[in-house]
Structure 1
């Protein structure tokens, strides 16, 4: 019993010391909780204030979101170290500061994709190949840029889907920005009959396109015949429109109006858009012999 009583006394003494330490730390723990709430609210307020301030000074929402996020986590990190100091965990603070470099290297190898996305997000923020609201094609996905974070670029497709594209994939693939120049070209391929007057066709088509509302730079319309087709002489008409623009003057709408306008003009000037015709020829002698074979089989 004496051998058993001694370790029990040691355990009870240890528990009493922990209880005394817990009671002693209660005021500091209460202050730590209050400080955590304070720094959390402070970080959110500073992030909101930073967004407003950066919005007035920086014409780049991607960079604005990046800087505001960095400020947010900096405030939270400062509060975290202050709370550790109040709880008497100075050695923990020192160990954390000393191990930041080692941890950073270890995380860099363990989370290479996350690190690559983070660095790519910073590069995109400063390089600005696109802005929020631009119509782009990224990694084969076309839509409107909704948001860019330090990890992903969010694109809303024209089919109503929200796609999160890793920043690393954005950087490693071609970026098509349809809003950068403020205009977009429409290419239409049309064919006319070999019997039509080609100069008249060119004049009719150019007049049609120039009259369309929404066409910009009408003097830069390109018309060229490029092929003797099987049943038609084919040409390409290329013209520019404002992009992005209002829905009634958007890319798909103006392309539709151009096709309708060209077809109506061709009808008025009796210009033909031919279509392939297949002629089937039968040898009468072969046809009669096949009929005789069928009759013999039936007999």
Structure 2
């Protein structure tokens, strides 16, 4: 017990030692600099050798976690903490930690399979477990998705390993999809022609892709149809939907005045 108390006192003395504080700060700052420089170097390598973003994020995560582990080990050494005793202690409580971190380990292992399979790439549009969007980042634990509503969703990699998912064609990323109920008596063909005349006047609409309209159902309120337009850049998804709805309301107002 005396040895244990003496060890804690020794660690506290080392922790409040000015020289050690400066040393620890230098280790932290140096680690952050290495991570940032590494990211810039990886970006240059990516442009030079045309690496995909998936490989970039993989290498970035490897660098980050390696630097963090080495920095922590170095700081513990500066404080006079014996790493061997910590490893032994972790072995004693390993079962408890294993149960507590089983989801993390599962996501980590699943992330390795997701990355190595190369089926899901950055920029692709996928749908899994009711979520649909564009893949922004693939990490070891989570995959980040951006939905058409511009929400960012972190999907555990274990979800991608245990659930079926759809991979949509590249053009799907830039598609505007809206469900609209046309008033009773309004011609679907005439409605599409009038809306096309307005929508194709915008330079952010992809004029090489023909707009689509599909009749879904008919009810007492009118005809439920699905509208599809394509934009030139993903950033126009949200504002594009708003613009379409505004023009649709104008057409409805004109129709109701007749």
Same fold (TM over 0.5): yes
1:46 aligns with 2:34: yes
Partners of 1:135 and 1:178 within 8 A in 2: yes
Counterpart mapping for 1:1-299 below 5 A: 36-58=24-46, 59-60=52-53, 62-63=57-58, 65-76=60-71, 79=74, 83=77, 93=84, 107-123=97-113, 127=118, 129=120, 131=122, 150-152=140-142, 166-169=156-159, 172=162, 181=171, 182-187=173-178, 188-193=180-185, 201-211=187-197, 212=199, 213=202, 214-217=204-207, 220-225=210-215, 229=219, 234=223, 236-242=225-231, 244-246=234-236, 249-257=239-247, 259-263=248-252, 266=255, 270=258
In the TM superposition, residue 51 of structure 1 has moved relative to its aligned partner by 1.3
Q: What is the alpha-carbon root mean square deviation over aligned residues?
A: 5.3
In the TM superposition, residue 50 of structure 1 has moved relative to its aligned partner by 1.0
Relative to 1, partners in 2 of residues 1:160 and 1:208: Cα closer, same or farther, differing over 3 Å?
closer
Equivalent position SS for 1:239: strand
CA distance in structure 2 between the aligned counterparts of 1:179 and 1:103, rounded to whole angstroms: 48
Mark the runs of 5 or more structure 1 residues left unpaired by the alignment: 1-13, 271-299
In the TM superposition, residue 113 of structure 1 has moved relative to its aligned partner by 1.3
Q: Give the TM-score, by structure 1 length.
A: 0.51
In the TM superposition, residue 262 of structure 1 has moved relative to its aligned partner by 3.6
**Larger radius of gyration, structure 1 or 2?**
1
Partners of 1:66 and 1:125 within 8 A in 2: no
CA distance in structure 1 between the aligned counterparts of 2:31 and 2:38, rounded to whole angstroms: 10
| 2:49 match | none
Equivalent position SS for 1:216: coil
**Number of equivalences:** 233
CA distance in structure 2 between the aligned counterparts of 1:131 and 1:34, rounded to whole angstroms: 41
Mark the runs of 5 or more structure 2 residues left unpaired by the alignment: 47-51
Partners of 1:191 and 1:235 within 8 A in 2: no
